[in-house]
Structure 1
Amino acid sequence: MRFFLFFLLISRVVIAQNTYPKDYFQSPLDIPMQLSGNFGELRPNHFHAGFDFKTLQREGLEVHAAADGYISRIKISPFGNGKAIYINHPNGITTVYCHLQKAVGIIDDYIKNAQYKAQSFEIELFPKANELEVKKGQLIALSGNTGSSEGPHLHFEFRDTKTEKVINPMFFGFDKNFKDTKKPIVSAVYVYPLDGTVANKSKQPLLLNLRLQADGSYLANKVLANGAIGFGITAVDYDNISMNRNGVYKVQSYLNGKAVFGYQFDTYGFDEMRYVNALIDYGRYKRTSQRVQKLFMKTPFGLSIIKTDEDNGIIKVLPNLNLSYRVEVADYFGNTTMITIPIAFDAASPVVEQEKVVSSYFVKAKKDNIFSKDNMTATFPAGTFYDDFAMNFVVNGNVLTVHDDSVPVHSSFEIAIESDKYSDDQKSKVYIANLSSSGKLGYNSTAVKGNLYTTKVRTLGKYTLAMDTTAPTISMAKPIEGCWITNEKSIQLSIADSGSGIKSYNGYLNGNWILFEYDAKTRKITYQFTNEFVAEGKNELKVVVTDQVGNSSVFETGFFRSQK
């Protein structure tokens, strides 16, 4: 059995690395490759789907098509991937280029024409195979910092065109562009007592001490337990080129030499992304920002990269039984860090008791759950959560507390609040808001039927009804009213909303709709001058900004410009 598991693991690695072409694709950038993020890295609510290439800490680097193909999708958004281009290749692979500053040439013209036709900056396009063909190495865009990017870089992905599963870029020959002789760093190992078990006199997760051995491996202090336990690690990896902390490629645990729980980041689907919250100790992450990767599953979940034994990585410590638990953490290049943890039975009473939540509301993760109190109801379909737990469900005045964000939510659930407080005229301005610890209100799209307000959300916490009657604000740092601005290349305004948030923004020059690009990070909209719609001499500008519940503001100004 042990040989069979080993054979399966080795075969899987060999197949994964030999299935994909090694010299078909080129780098999308002209500069040497340096990563600020690698494939499979643990991110908020998702695994990282590609490589983040450094771009010399600036925007505007040339981005090239990695191979022949055609542009199959274009998405422009102030959030997420920002400006993104997708290229389908004849070999069944799609490459993706994100956070772009702008497309170039006929691609940029294609996007602009579509935006003006839709009268929208935010747009998603699906060109036909013969519309935007590209050649390997062709300049398609300039690198940028758009969307939710936290600094200039190029996010680059490989996907299976048919299944849309993301694939580790290393499989396509990109490994030859890196040098990595460094072992992953395992900074912490935790033991998790499960189902009332005591481990090292504690019913709560406990940090283990690690001692470096002469062969470069680590030995943890012995775990003394009397029942079911699991383990978790925090691990990062570095290469020889950049100083960025990246994720590890492979984790595998063994019990007395038998493989019991492991995963490696080869390929996975987008519908699996949120399982990152089940893989990590989510509660600890929310409290401390530390991501502990669990090497067990109390309740199995559908992350395809996990390979486990019949006990899902949970170890049962019984009397008269000494066990040896080993964890191996590796990067793509085979550099491996090994930790050995001796385990023995011990019937000692706990010194540290388990934290208890006293509640009349108990969630069964695999069943539908509906909890109501006073005028408020929360409905949780089966599969909303990963594990069973006692929920703190409290109504205090006009605030509903649905536990807290220490428990991960996999899929959306419904909040319903009944209230006769608002008139028919006011109801369109009312929404169910999530309430932060600082008292800040967050908007959720809300349906109203009679006096019942409902919304779908994906985070536990506090919720209440809120009404927004305040219009957005529009301002210009340097007013242009009555000024000649012939030499200016653009017009920029700041837009903001203190209530439900901005829904739309539209600009009109001399009565014609014009394209304002929105940067959500800076809350600025920018119009780049073209000769179209600009009059010789006097021009009239109008900007309309509307929030999520329909409050609008209008900004108008006049300026002079010469086209000669």
Structure 2
Amino acid sequence: MKFLRLFLVLSTTVIAQTNYPKDYFRLPLDVPVQLSGNFGELRPNHFHTGFDFKTLQREGLDVHAVADGYVSRIKMSPYGNGKAIYITHPNGYTSVYCHLQNANAEIKDYIYKAYYKEEAYEIELFLKPHELPVRKGQVIAFSGNTGSSQGPHLHFEFRDSKTEKIINPLLFGFDSAIKDTKKPVVSALYVYPVEDDVIINQSKRPLLLSLSLQKDGTYIATSVKANGKIGFGITAADYDNVSYNKNGVYKVQTYLNGSASFGYQLDTYSFDEMRYINALIDYPKYRQNSQRVQKLFMKTPYPLSIIKADQDNGVVDVLPNLASVYRIEVSDFFGNTTVITVPVNYDLTNPIVKREQKHSEYFVKAAKDNIFSKENFTVDIPAGTFYDDFEMDFDVKGKTLYMSDESIPVQSNFTITIEDDSYTEAEKEKMYIADIDSRGRAGYNYTWIKGNKFSAKVRSLGRYRLYSDTTAPSIAITASIEGKWISSQKTVQLRISDSGSGIKSYNGYLNGKWVLFEYDYKTGKITHDFSNGNVAEGANELKVVVEDKVGNTKTFETRFFRSQQ
């Protein structure tokens, strides 16, 4: 425990001492800076890894290399970052450009050669320094809306080229392009009982505290009267002068009687620690109403490098005959700060609101391996899968496994095994362990089969059962071209979907040769562009084959005519 606290303190000190170049990089866009997302913003299962630059609500804006360097990595995917380009710079940093519509002519040609070499749209390429060098200010691509983007924008990142750690773009001088004179807004302050017997303002449950604005611009919270160990949490957001939407806060620091208690500053972190966001926030509340309350204490310490905590990990121990003052400072990068003071006093008044009691014979110890079995289900939970110990609801009804609910966060994978000898070998090939959501929909989990045992690694609690998918995917062309002359048509589109295990692969063939179809999973459409020259003069045969994750396939074929004159 002492080593962990020392690591957190030292890592924060090293971060603060790093000097980043302020004038080396230019902005990636020419339009005025407006952000739809900033560095460290709280997102599902991760902290946001960069800036989301607004692109005037449209696609196709020039995207510039922020400095000299070379294209070191290219990743094309229907999901996540979509079309992404990575540029490694000679000063030790890498810039990343995501959700692109397309690359410039030279880079696009390189990508298209790789598409046809790999015969796949989803590719990842690693390049050498001499292959695609770029100059500062060169147009490398055009902004878009590919991957998991929910609207046109450019997602941009800085990374350390050696460690792959993500770094706040504001540290590289990008702050000079943003005007921000607004203080962060704390919309909610909660106080939590850390132990079962703690009473806070006559309640054994977390409480929302009222805030009163003072003449000096600070806030005073409702006085807290408690006994024993408590912790606090906030819901907070930041606004700049021009972006007109809320973003994440940069820094939070708390003090107990003037001494630093718990804090974090969003300068840099690694991808490996992203999921600890679920330990930082009040995860049950987030699952219940989508509110992200940032907890200002750790009941059980976790290795998130941005956190700097005292020996009590931010927990306040309310003792008799000792009045305390708890202060919260929430700041943005520009120094605008919101201050909240909370008076804390000892009190032993009996509770009016009692803690919800939950008892189960299945108790999960977070720091140890756990194995639970019932009927034909076995669940193997490695140490470190969960953040805290808890009593788990564990039951089998019919052929479905029930495990607590999704309000308990899961850090890493655990294994579910179902033993069932009632299926033939042919039937087993179409089966998988499915997670069942609140609407009764089955979600696919990769399942391996050994004899009569089906096993899958999963990352959430809930309902699970064996599921069979014998239905092939569906394919439909958006506008029929059968037997038609389509000489002026630039593209052909088909809509693909699968109601069971989901789409694993799709492949298009024009006159017997593989051709590129780009997949947009948000619309369910695949698109082939005729401009790459694979179409023949006169008659053409098009075939598309779609396969789902358990091997069911569907083939679509059509014949059309085209003139190249």
Could you state the TM-score of these two structures normalised by the residue count of structure 2? Answer: 0.97
Q: Is the 8 A contact 1:81 1:147 kept in 2?
A: yes
User: Residue 220 of structure 1 aligns to which amino acid in structure 2?
Assistant: A
Q: Does 1:70 align with 2:78?
A: no
Q: What do residues 181-228 of structure 1 show as CA deviations (whole Å, max 9, x unaligned)?
A: 000000000000111211011111000011000000000011000100
Map 1:298-309 onto structure 2 (within 5 A): 298-309=299-310
Map 1:170-189 onto structure 2 (within 5 A): 170-189=170-189
- TM-superposed deviation, 1:102: 1.1
User: Residue 62 of structure 2 aligns to which amino acid in structure 1?
Assistant: E
1:316 alignment counterpart: 317
1: CA distance, partners of 2:461 / 2:127 = 40
User: Residue 17 of structure 2 aligns to which amino acid in structure 1?
Assistant: I
Q: Does the residue aligned with 2:357 lie in a helix, a strand or coil? A: coil
- TM-superposed deviation, 1:10: 11
User: Residue 69 of structure 2 aligns to which amino acid in structure 1?
Assistant: G
2: CA distance, partners of 1:12 / 1:429 = 52
1:91 alignment counterpart: 91
1:375 alignment counterpart: 376
Map 1:393-412 onto structure 2 (within 5 A): 393-412=394-413
1:21 alignment counterpart: 21
2: CA distance, partners of 1:192 / 1:156 = 37
1: CA distance, partners of 2:46 / 2:71 = 26
1:491 alignment counterpart: 492
2:4 alignment counterpart: none
- TM-superposed deviation, 1:422: 1.3
2: CA distance, partners of 1:340 / 1:52 = 33
User: Residue 131 of structure 2 aligns to which amino acid in structure 1?
Assistant: E
Q: Does 1:442 align with 2:443?
A: yes
1: CA distance, partners of 2:396 / 2:13 = 55
> What is the RMSD computed on CA atoms of the aligned residues?
1.3
1:329 alignment counterpart: 330
- TM-superposed deviation, 1:535: 1.1
Q: Is the 8 A contact 2:376 2:418 kept in 1?
A: yes
Once the two structures are overlaid, the 10-residue window that deviates more, 87-96 or 355-364, is 355-364
Q: What do residues 472-531 of structure 1 show as CA deviations (whole Å, max 9, x unaligned)?
A: 000012101011111111000000000000000000000010000000101100000125
Q: What do residues 438-463 of structure 1 show as CA deviations (whole Å, max 9, x unaligned)?
A: 10000000000111000011111100
| Distance change in 2, residues 1:385/1:475 (3 Å) | same
Q: Does 1:458 align with 2:459?
A: yes
2:143 alignment counterpart: 143
Q: Does the residue aligned with 1:425 lie in a helix, a strand or coil? A: helix
User: Residue 517 of structure 2 aligns to which amino acid in structure 1?
Assistant: F
Map 1:158-557 onto structure 2 (within 5 A): 158-196=158-196, 197-530=198-531, 532-557=533-558
Q: Does the residue aligned with 1:112 lie in a helix, a strand or coil? A: helix
Q: Does the residue aligned with 2:175 lie in a helix, a strand or coil? A: helix
| Distance change in 2, residues 1:531/1:205 (3 Å) | closer
Q: Is the 8 A contact 1:531 1:563 kept in 2?
A: no
2: CA distance, partners of 1:356 / 1:284 = 17
2: CA distance, partners of 1:361 / 1:101 = 50
- TM-superposed deviation, 1:162: 0.3
Q: Is the 8 A contact 2:363 2:390 kept in 1?
A: yes
Unaligned runs of 5+ in 2: 1-8
Q: Does the residue aligned with 1:31 lie in a helix, a strand or coil? A: coil
2: CA distance, partners of 1:143 / 1:9 = 36
2: CA distance, partners of 1:165 / 1:195 = 36
Q: Give aligned-pair identity as a percent.
A: 66
- TM-superposed deviation, 1:14: 5.9
Q: Does the residue aligned with 1:487 lie in a helix, a strand or coil? A: coil
1: CA distance, partners of 2:112 / 2:360 = 56
Q: What do residues 338-369 of structure 1 show as CA deviations (whole Å, max 9, x unaligned)?
A: 00000000001111111122211111111101
2: CA distance, partners of 1:452 / 1:12 = 49
- TM-superposed deviation, 1:421: 2.2
1:48 alignment counterpart: 48
2: CA distance, partners of 1:145 / 1:14 = 35
Q: Is the 8 A contact 1:357 1:392 kept in 2?
A: no
2:153 alignment counterpart: 153
| Distance change in 2, residues 1:8/1:214 (3 Å) | farther
- TM-superposed deviation, 1:11: 7.2
User: Residue 505 of structure 1 aligns to which amino acid in structure 2?
Assistant: Y
1: CA distance, partners of 2:329 / 2:166 = 25
Q: Does the residue aligned with 2:429 lie in a helix, a strand or coil? A: helix
Could you state the TM-score of these two structures normalised by the residue count of structure 1? Answer: 0.97
Q: What do residues 56-85 of structure 1 show as CA deviations (whole Å, max 9, x unaligned)?
A: 111111111110001111111111111111
Q: Is the 8 A contact 1:37 1:246 kept in 2?
A: yes
Q: Is the 8 A contact 1:505 1:544 kept in 2?
A: yes
2: CA distance, partners of 1:204 / 1:78 = 44
- TM-superposed deviation, 1:242: 1.1
- TM-superposed deviation, 1:250: 0.2
| Distance change in 2, residues 1:11/1:193 (3 Å) | closer
2: CA distance, partners of 1:453 / 1:561 = 50
Q: Is the 8 A contact 1:26 1:66 kept in 2?
A: yes
Once the two structures are overlaid, the 10-residue window that deviates more, 103-112 or 544-553, is 103-112
1:39 alignment counterpart: 39
1: CA distance, partners of 2:504 / 2:488 = 32
1:3 alignment counterpart: none
2:123 alignment counterpart: 123
| Distance change in 2, residues 1:371/1:531 (3 Å) | closer
Q: Is the 8 A contact 2:60 2:143 kept in 1?
A: yes
Unaligned runs of 5+ in 1: 1-6
2: CA distance, partners of 1:554 / 1:52 = 39
- TM-superposed deviation, 1:12: 6.5
User: Residue 194 of structure 1 aligns to which amino acid in structure 2?
Assistant: V
Q: Does the residue aligned with 2:274 lie in a helix, a strand or coil? A: helix
**Count, aligned residues:** 556
User: Residue 253 of structure 1 aligns to which amino acid in structure 2?
Assistant: T
2: CA distance, partners of 1:10 / 1:486 = 62
| Distance change in 2, residues 1:476/1:263 (3 Å) | same
